[in-house]
Copies of this chain bind each other. A is one copy, B any other.
Amino acid sequence: MNKVIEEQEKAITEKDSSTEEKILEAGRKLFTERGYAGTRTRDIAEEAGINLALLNYYFRSKENLFKIIMLEKVELFFGELIRMLKEDTTIDKKAEKIINLYFDMLSSNPDLPLFIFSETRYNENHSAVRDKMQTIVNDKDLQSLLKQMNPNVNPYHIIINFIGCIVFPYISKAIFDNTTVVKESSFDKLMETQKKIVPHILNAILSINEENAK
């Protein structure tokens, strides 16, 4: 292995195991699991295996650390979606790609949807996040795409039901775990089937005509 690559890898390793990254990683885990109010800075420090004071040394405050992580998570949740919607393919291909992408992302970030929705409901300070999400949904291209998909229903219903059947299984995961309906099969396997069901649901919404929707 040549020396340049060796140094690059060392740099990456160092960055991953740096205290700054350790705090970020602990923050990601605890904030998404327990929310802002349910997480203590001491819990983060302990989870990260660092001294409490280092949190403020690197991130100034709990709220600042939270904001950084929240923006990261919002980008993770919406970023790729926006990029894919702008791609120039058929609606079916686009939908398939988004579905695959989301279920993959959610399988490694199962707490993400509940984190985003619960932390933005009662927001004193993190309204910047909600603003970003609104910018995304207000996108003109997305609007016209949805209108084109089915002019009979408000685009809202297409978005909400499409995202809903992808995201809701993860939101309700804690409740349905250890339930016979989930125990039989594993959650991951259920999501493989859900992947195939979502297009059927999308088609159902797209084939709604005026009489049915009004």
A residues sitting closer than 8 Å to B (CB atoms) are 33-38, 111, 114, 116-118, 120-123, 130, 133-134, 137-138, 143, 153-157, 159-161, 163-165, 167-169, 171-176, 178-182, 184-185, 190, 193-194, 196-197, 200-201, 203-205, 208, 212-214
Determine if B157 and A194 form an interchain contact, defined as CB atoms under 8 angstroms apart: yes
Chain B contacts for A133, CB-based, 8 A = 175
Q: A134-B178, A134-B179, A169-B160 are in contact. Are A208 and B213 (CB under 8 A)?
A: no
Closest to A130 in B: B175
Chain B contacts for A134, CB-based, 8 A = 175, 178-179
Determine if A168 and B167 form an interchain contact, defined as CB atoms under 8 angstroms apart: yes
In whole angstroms, how far apart are the Cα atoms of A2 and B181 in the complex? 55
Determine if B117 and A179 form an interchain contact, defined as CB atoms under 8 angstroms apart: no
Nearest CB in chain B: distance from A77 CB, A: 10
Determine if B156 and A176 form an interchain contact, defined as CB atoms under 8 angstroms apart: yes
Can you tell how many copies of this chain the complex includes?
2
Which of B37, B114, B122, B201 sits near A161, CB closer than 8 Å?
B201
Nearest CB in chain B: distance from A69 CB, A: 16
Determine if B193 and A154 form an interchain contact, defined as CB atoms under 8 angstroms apart: yes
Q: A143-B181, A180-B143 are in contact. Are A120 and B201 (CB under 8 A)?
A: no
In whole angstroms, how far apart are the Cα atoms of A124 and B121 in the complex? 22
Q: A114-B117, A160-B169, A172-B160 are in contact. Are A200 and B190 (CB under 8 A)?
A: no
Determine if A200 and B205 form an interchain contact, defined as CB atoms under 8 angstroms apart: yes
Determine if A118 and B35 form an interchain contact, defined as CB atoms under 8 angstroms apart: yes
Given A38-B38, A163-B172, A193-B214: 4 more A-B contacts, CB < 8 Å: A35-B38, A137-B176, A164-B172, A200-B205
In whole angstroms, how far apart are the Cα atoms of A84 and B143 in the complex? 38
Q: A38-B37, A38-B122, A181-B143 are in contact. Are A193 and B164 (CB under 8 A)?
A: no
Closest to A135 in B: B179
